[in-house]
Amino acid sequence: MSRTFILAVLVPLALALSIGSCVLSTSPVDSPPRHDTPGLHTDPDWTFPLQSEPATPLPDFRPVIARAMPSVVSVTTERILSSLFGPRTEYGAGSGIIIDDRGYIVTNNHVLEGAQTIFVETNDGQVFQADIVGSDPLSDLAVIRVDAEDLPYAQWGDSSSLDLGEWVIAIGNALGEGLSVSEGIVSRLDVSVNVEGNVLYGLIQTTAAIVPGNSGGPLVNMAGEVIGITSIKIVARGVEGMGFAISSDEARIIIPDLIRYGHVTYPWLGVGLYSVDPALAAAMGLAVDRGAIIVELVPNSPADIAGLREDDVIVGFGGYEISSVGDLVKAIRRSSIGEDTEVVFVRGEDTRTTSARLVERPTP
């Protein structure tokens, strides 16, 4: 007999025993309380109290959508796969943002992976075949182009001005069914997420509904400006409202290189890193409880040549304060190849300064 079945049998039995004990009790029972005469406490003149102030209405999203929607496109990809029954076509769905009037469109790198043919449909129903201009797996950004002019393009916003709780709208080709919108708030800023071994930095977390097909579409503020490019969503049992967008400030650094060169050239220091926090500092006996500790050093790399060592904690780079690995990665990406950059680090109890000349990131 299963435990569930036993409990189901025992509970009614206990109730029966309890009821029986009440019935067999010989204790005197009080008479039930008498209800007051109906209408004794009524007030025929009662009304709802006056409200001191009118309720604050929700924002009107319609003008925001009207401004942002024309620059959003649906992206459909095709790739031919071989099978035992011959070639078959696999389709993928994503979104994109028109960024100028010459047909350049930004989307996610993962939307285009493996694509042999790419089609773009604008909000007013025009369909174009698109070509890949450039792509970057590290940032998960890509740029495609269609042969069209005078397209409505997006207004770019400043993601650094975002606040927690600020209203945002996600627009995209959800489930490949055409453009749709969802509203939410900014729930976290400057988030790092590991996606299959590649860490995306500086992400915006939002409660706006993100579903497959939204990737590459915009996250816009209440001015209708793009402040993020929808990228990923955490899918797990019990997890809701955890979608992420690449910030517009991060994308603004990457997109010009993709258009000009077809790829992104990253400066490289040549270290493996781990973020320092109070727990790690206590466990390792570090003199500081913030920064990026070097756990691996590539021989003959800029870091090696600059005299850095494993267990050094970098707390400053190129004039930026470093509290985590994400801070250091962003500071390195803001630097230039061939540039001598000041590095502030802690070794033991001492704070020291050196200069590292960054080189181009080696091809993986």
Please indicate whether residue 147 is annotated as part of the active site. no
Catalytic, out of 74, 110, 159, 324: 110
In three-state secondary structure terms, 261 is helix
Please indicate whether residue 289 is annotated as part of the active site. no
Q: Mean pLDDT throughout 252-261?
A: 94
Catalytic, out of 140, 249, 312, 327: 140
Q: Which residue has the higher pLDDT, 223 or 29?
A: 223
- Predicted TM-score (pTM) of this structure: 0.77
Domain covering 159-261, topology: Thrombin, subunit H (2.40.10)
What is the C-alpha separation between 108 and 119, in angstroms, rounded? 15
**pLDDT value, residue 53:** 74
- Closest by CA position to 268, among listed 241, 304, 292: 304
Assign domain 267-360 to its CATH architecture: Roll (2.30)
**62-146: CATH superfamily:** Trypsin-like serine proteases (2.40.10.10)
- Residues contacting 19, CB < 8 A, separation 6+: none
Give the residue range(s) of CATH 2.40.10.10 domains in the chain: 62-146, 159-261
pLDDT-based confidence at 38, cuts 50/70/90? low
pLDDT tens per residue, range 6-18? 333 333 433 333 4
Please indicate whether residue 100 is annotated as part of the active site. no
Catalytic, out of 182, 215, 247, 335: 215
pLDDT-based confidence at 328, cuts 50/70/90? very high
